[in-house]
Amino acid sequence: MNAFSRRHFLPRGVTAIIIGLLCQGGPGVAQTHRDLSVERIPDGRRIALVIGNANYPGHKLINPVHDADDMKAALERVGFTVNLGKDLSKRAMQDQVAKFLGDLREGDVALFYFSGHGMEIDGENLLVPTDFPSAMPPPNEAKAASFPLEDVQRSLEKSKARLSILVMDACRTNPYRRVTRAWDQGMAPVDAALGAYIAFAASPGQTADDNSNERNGLFTKFLLHELGAPPPLSQVFREVRDNVYEASGKVQRPYLVDQVTGDFNFRSLAQTAPAATAPPPEAAPAPQAPMEEGLRLYREGNCEAALKLFDRAIRESPQDPFAQNATGVAYVCLKQYSLAIPRFDMAIRLRPSFAEAYMNRGAAYSTEGQYDLAVENFDWAVEAEPWNPVFFTRRGQANFQLRKYEEALADFNRGIELNPGGADAFYGRGQVRERQGHYAEAADDFAAALERNSTLTAAKQDLDRVRKRLSIR
């Protein structure tokens, strides 16, 4: 059975789409088929905040201001009202973001774009303002001087916007002196919430030099091209992904996680509709569709009410894989795993190319202790996306539970190779090595996991235990 004959699904949503434009490269073209099976997200106001930070102390970047100017123009052509900020301090970034969020209304499409330096500390992705110290401070001070990407993501998820899009072009080779190895490895993976579409311009842990020989970064360059005659949102980023991969000589592979529940067309109404002879009468706001309202309730932690709406969406559109997947995720939230798995089954049958569905179903099987079935699902996920470190790490964890230590070790090694900045694969490899009696190597892995995520309590406990064993010996 090929890689796309069975897959794990998470719903395509209406609320948070995170595009992490991490790295840059040179020209190339690739094509993918168009996906016409999704429901289009209705249009509301289109509001964007675009930030380009280039004038860093001692090392001015070439692309970010150009990227920001060009994104502003491209977004305005497709109907967005754009606020533009350049070379912003942390306080100015906070003020601009607060105003952007405060201006959003029910039914808006909100887009946040940042181009500049970014970093990852303890698994947290940080945007770097222009008043960041010229020499890298200690980790806690570096966090305090930066702007957390998660703050924007979570605030947008809770906002009144119907659809939120985050675009982060922040993985240029960082000139700051790092004080831990993990900071050299680019940005950290982002877990997509229900209703999110995440696209990083490179796989987790990858970095690339700033594309200073051209006006725009590689990912932004191809994104601007796609916005010139835009297909639906999901197709935009598939084509950008393939173009970047080919243009970089197959070195830089964008990383996509699809959990949204509809699709959005960047083409503005003015570009698609015939001119009206008179303005239409103002219509009353339409009630929210079941999937949209369900997503809102899910984000608020009201999983039982969300489940009822997702179930209603299935009754209205039984062939919608995203509604099936959303229902499964709601069952998982309620810890009803035996009811979640059939929904994931149905979503996979309806949309074999729904990559995240295998991950959901595999995770559900793991929680139920059915690790053989979990490994099978993670196998399909790995076949479909062999560049995804999360899939290898999850399969390694399931293999560890099955006491298949060599298979688990191979998975964790591959996860580390794909994302050297990730803590979970190091921790998993440490567990395998401890179980195999290689205590010194296990201690090194637990320490590496803590270096990348100092809040990983289990790794600290295991490290203390292994060091005691080594001291006794």
- Under the banding of pLDDT at 50, 70 and 90, the label for residue 262 is low
Task: Give pLDDT, residue 282.
Answer: 45
pLDDT at 195 over 50: yes
What type of residue is 339? Answer: L
Q: DSSP state, 184?
A: G
pLDDT tens for residues 292-347? 788 778 878 899 999 999 999 999 988 888 889 889 999 999 999 999 999 999 99
Cβ-count burial of 77 within 10 angstroms (0-12 exposed, 13-18 middle, 19+ buried)? middle
Task: Give pLDDT, residue 269.
Answer: 52
- Residue identified by tokens 């006006």 is 215
Q: Report the alpha-carbon distance of residue 115 to residue 105 in Å, rounded.
A: 25
- What mean pLDDT do residues 246-270 have? 71
Cβ-count burial of 302 within 10 angstroms (0-12 exposed, 13-18 middle, 19+ buried)? middle
Q: Report the alpha-carbon distance of residue 184 to residue 205 in Å, rounded.
A: 8
Is the CB of residue 181 less than 8 Å from the CB of residue 451?
Answer: yes
- Residue 42: helix, strand or coil by DSSP? coil
Task: Give pLDDT, residue 68.
Answer: 95
- Under the banding of pLDDT at 50, 70 and 90, the label for residue 117 is confident
Task: Give pLDDT, residue 5.
Answer: 34
- Residue identified by tokens 């020499």 is 135
pLDDT tens for residues 395-412? 999 999 999 999 999 999
pLDDT at 40 over 60: no
CA dist 12 to 171, 282, 295, 351, Å? 26, 30, 10, 12
Q: Which residues pair with residue 85 across a beta bridge?
A: 51
- What mean pLDDT do residues 232-258 have? 79
Domains and CATH numbers, the chain: 16-268 (3.40.50.1460), 301-472 (1.25.40.10)
- Residue identified by tokens 């010139």 is 228
Is the CB of residue 293 less than 8 Å from the CB of residue 70?
Answer: no
- Under the banding of pLDDT at 50, 70 and 90, the label for residue 37 is very low
Task: Give pLDDT, residue 377.
Answer: 93
